[in-house]
Amino acid sequence: MMQNSHHPLPEHVSQQLETLAVLHAKAEKEAGFHQHAVESVTAFLGRPLFLNLTIGVVFLWILVNIFPRLFGLVRFDPPPFYWLQGTIGLGALLLTIVVLITQNRQALLSERRAKLDLQVNLLAEQKVAKLIALIEELRRDIPTVKDRFDPEAEAMQRSPDPHTVLEALEEKIDEAATLVKKAEEDMKTKR
């Protein structure tokens, strides 16, 4: 049996975990009562139990309306079951709305996590650039290692500016959109 050893986490890891916890708590607080209620409904609707209940209710509805004398009931929705169709249509509309509301919040949370990932990746890029610079400096300082110029290592020592990277990305996206638009126009003129 392994013993549970408690090693203190490095400060930077603790800070990252605290940041994640704060983001999670903030997202939960921002959600509010109605959002939580909708997400609870969505969680229930997404279970196999709900599918089984739905099939059971529809089957019972049809059975009661086809053989009302067996149950001592009056037909309240004879075939072709207009009330059942309306109920299913309304249920489908409400289900769609509930799922869309839940997906909107999940998309927002996903976007926040993506931004956090980007920040972590940019920080990692800076750390790697610093490590390369230190290794290159160490290589130059050790007398037994042949000093040589490495243009790739020289370029990697400089961490890219996030704003410059973002501008370049937006420029590439605009170029790609222009190419797609031009290709679509070319296809239209060829028809």
d(CA 63, CA 82): 15
Asked whether residue 66 is assigned to any structural domain, the reply reads no
Are 116 and 185 members of one domain? no
Residue 145 and residue 170 in one domain = no
| DSSP-assigned states of every residue in 85-99 | HHHHHHHHHHHHHHH
- In this structure, are 117 and 169 located in the same domain? no
State the pLDDT at residue 48: 95
Tens of pLDDT, residue by residue over 59-116, are: 999 999 998 878 788 888 999 999 999 999 999 999 999 999 999 989 988 988 888 7
Q: What's the total number of domains in the chain?
A: 2
Rounded-to-10 torsion of CA 66, 72, 74, 80: -10
> Are both 117 and 101 inside the same structural domain?
yes
Residue 60 counted as domain residue: no
Task: Reply yes or no: is the peptide bond before residue 80 cis, omega within 30 of 0.
Answer: yes
CB 9 within 8 A of CB 17: yes
Domain check: are 104 and 21 in the same one?
Answer: yes
- Measure the N-to-C terminal CA separation of the chain; round to a whole number of Å: 73
In terms of pTM, does the model score above 0.85?
Answer: no
Quote the pLDDT of residue 89: 97
pLDDT in tens, 32-69: 888 888 889 999 999 999 999 999 999 999 999 998 87
Q: What is the pLDDT of residue 175?
A: 85
Q: Tell me which residue range forms the domain holding 171.
A: 161-191
Task: Classify residue 184 by burial, with Cβ atoms within 10 Å: 0-12, 13-18, 19+.
Answer: exposed
Same domain, 152 and 172: no
- Same-domain status, 112 and 151: yes
What does the pLDDT read at residue 1?
41
Distance CA 178, CA 171 (A): 10
Q: What percent of the chain has pLDDT over 90?
A: 25
Average pLDDT, the chain: 84
Whether residue 165 sits in one domain with residue 154: no
